[in-house]
Amino acid sequence: MMLPDMSVEIAGIKLRNPVMTASGTFGYGEEFAPYVNLEEIGAIITKGLSLKPRAGNPTPRIVETPGGMLNAIGLQNVGLEAFIAKKVPYLRAVATPVIVNLFGNTLEEYGELASSLDHVSEVSGVEVNISCPNVKHGGIVFGTDPKAAFDVVRLVRESTIKPVIVKLSPNVTDVVEMAHACVDAGADAISLINTLTGMAVDLEKRRPVLANITGGLSGPAIKPIALRMVWQVAKSVKIPVIGIGGIMSAIDALEFMLVGATAVQIGTASFLDPSAAQTIARDMVRYLSEKGITDVKKLIGALEV
Ligand SMILES: Cc1cc2nc3c(=O)[nH]c(=O)nc-3n(C[C@H](O)[C@H](O)[C@H](O)COP(=O)(O)O)c2cc1C
């Protein structure tokens, strides 16, 4: 029997299948090599990178919730220099595209990071996390203001020739407006959704559970919201959309493709089962084979409404 064609393309990045790993849930790839054949997934998206190393927030910074988890890791990462010196060499030998998720505390930091990574040949593209406060402008989150999002995406666009994926926050009133701002600024692709801001409380202690008080909600609990937002954005932009949010199975992944995603990212599922991304990629092949679907691209946006 012929195996289905699982390949897709995002802004010129060729993926063997649509399964990517979501930033912050898969380390720098190497940590997951004991559990996942990194050459069986579509792309590796690394932990959010900043110019300087960050220690992240105090603990506790993760808590399980019904159907999901809240995290307030605080974007802990090794910083640009150590990433290039210590993480890139391992990834060089892996025949899978590496996309670097990046963020800054100011507009300028985003630009500087993008231009520094432009020279790193192992990096196939960047994913810009705009769910970060702009310290120079009263802490307003880039990703909740269309003008701020436009400015940051345009600067990144001007700072690199690599494909630019912009990752949208769901913590907005109109996600389509945000997507349009990113398209207008020159984004090559959109990924969504990042986590939804939430909170957990310990009644007996009368304290918030997370040291940071609030955290980002992820996992199956957010899937319906993510599906709705991916659907809304995919039908209103012409660039590829990557679906993220509560994908735990091949069925979930294919649902995101039906509503218009060209590829998907696996996040919280990797905490439950570190080989989830590989399992989902394999199960997608099995599903298509069983249904006699010869090419996964036939499912993209094939939802009948
Ligand atoms: C522990 C943890 C850390 C994360 N770190 C990042 C990050 O550094 N940058 C980013 O853009 N998203 C980050 N995310 C968000 C995920 O990439 C993803 O968008 C979100 O969790 C929704 O997908 P899921 O429900 O499959 O987990 C993080 C999520 C979790 C759970």
Model confidence pLDDT, tens digit, residues 165-192: 999 999 999 999 999 999 999 999 999 9
d(CA 12, CA 61): 37
For residue 268, the ligand 1 atom closest to its alpha carbon is: 27
The alpha carbon of 23 and the centre of ligand 1 are apart by a number of angstroms equal to 5
The alpha carbon of 136 and the centre of ligand 1 are apart by a number of angstroms equal to 25
Mean pLDDT of 19-41: 98
Residue 160: CB atoms within 10 A of its CB come to 20
> Whose CA is closest to atom 23 on ligand 1?
245
Mean pLDDT of 4-17: 98
> Whose CA is closest to atom 3 on ligand 1?
24
Structure token pair of residue 70: 């809240």
Residue 147: CB atoms within 10 A of its CB come to 9
Q: Indicate whether residue 219 lines ligand 1 (CB < 6 A).
A: yes
What values do phi and psi take at 128, rounded to 5?
Answer: -95, 115
- Residue 138: its pLDDT value, please? 82
Residues taking part in catalysis: 132
Q: Indicate whether residue 23 lines ligand 1 (CB < 6 A).
A: yes
Pairing relationship of beta strands 98-102 and 44-49 according to DSSP bridges: parallel
What values do phi and psi take at 219, rounded to 5?
Answer: 100, -175
Mean pLDDT of 114-142: 92
- Residue 221: its pLDDT value, please? 98
The H-assigned helical ranges of the chain are 79-82, 88-92, 107-117, 146-159, 175-184, 223-234, 250-258, 269-272, 276-291
Q: Indicate whether residue 77 lines ligand 1 (CB < 6 A).
A: no
User: How far apart, in Å, are the Cα atoms of 102 and each of 93, 115, 166, 175?
Assistant: 22, 12, 10, 20
Find the Cα–Cα–Cα–Cα dihedral 110, 177, 144, 192, rounded to 10°: -70
Helix (H) or strand (E) holding 164: strand 164-167
The alpha carbon of 25 and the centre of ligand 1 are apart by a number of angstroms equal to 6
For residue 71, the ligand 1 atom closest to its alpha carbon is: 1
The alpha carbon of 161 and the centre of ligand 1 are apart by a number of angstroms equal to 25
Give the pLDDT band (50/70/90) at residue 140. confident
d(CA 262, CA 256): 8
- pLDDT tens, residue by residue, 39-56: 999 999 999 999 999 999
DSSP code of 17?
A: S
| Percent of the chain clearing pLDDT 90 (strictly above) | 96
Pairing relationship of beta strands 201-202 and 98-102 according to DSSP bridges: unpaired
- Residue 1: its pLDDT value, please? 67
The alpha carbon of 62 and the centre of ligand 1 are apart by a number of angstroms equal to 12
For a mutational test of ligand 1's pocket, the pick from 19, 70, 268, 270, i.e. the residue with the most ligand atoms closer than 8 A to its C-beta, is 268
Q: Could you give the 3-state DSSP secondary structure of residue 196?
A: strand
C-beta of residue 48 within 8 angstroms of C-beta of residue 113: no
- pLDDT tens, residue by residue, 201-260: 999 999 999 999 999 999 999 999 999 999 999 999 999 999 999 999 999 999 999 999
Q: Indicate whether residue 47 lines ligand 1 (CB < 6 A).
A: yes
Mean pLDDT of 67-81: 97
Average pLDDT taken over every residue of the chain: 97
Q: Indicate whether residue 61 lines ligand 1 (CB < 6 A).
A: no
Q: Indicate whether residue 24 lines ligand 1 (CB < 6 A).
A: yes
- Residue 2: its pLDDT value, please? 87
